[in-house]
Amino acid sequence: MFWSRTRIRVRVKLFTGLHREVGLKGYDPEAGIEMDIRKGARIRTVAKRLGLPGGVRVAFFVAGERAGRWHKLRDGDEVACIKPSAGG
């Protein structure tokens, strides 16, 4: 019989103070957060599970490429979450 894995593991790294916005104490930015999610889940699932505020604009990157909330994640992906900022 064919065995199919139904869960995948991704690593999420939060930058620009996002860890404080979701209330993570003792967050290690080098390690990030490992999450087990269902196979076929998208970035929006990860954002919701972390409790990223809906009103805060966040840029997501997977493997160094910009990705939207509807990007489908694969086992071993690393998701970087960054609050865009502007300067002058």
pLDDT in tens, 31-65: 999 999 999 999 999 999 999 877 678 999 999 99
Query: How many other C-beta atoms lie within 10 A of the C-beta of residue 42?
Result: 16
Q: Strand, helix or coil at 76?
A: coil
Q: Within a 13 Å sphere around the CA of 85, how many CA atoms are in the beta-carbon half?
A: 9
| Residue entry with tokens 């990030």 | 32
Indicate yes or no: pTM above 0.75. yes
* Maximum Cα–Cα distance across the chain: 61
- Fold for domain 7-82? Ubiquitin-like (UB roll) (3.10.20)
Characterize the bridge pairing of strands 65-67 and 78-82: unpaired
What are the extents of the domains in the chain?
A: 7-82
* Single-letter amino acid code for the residue at 22: V
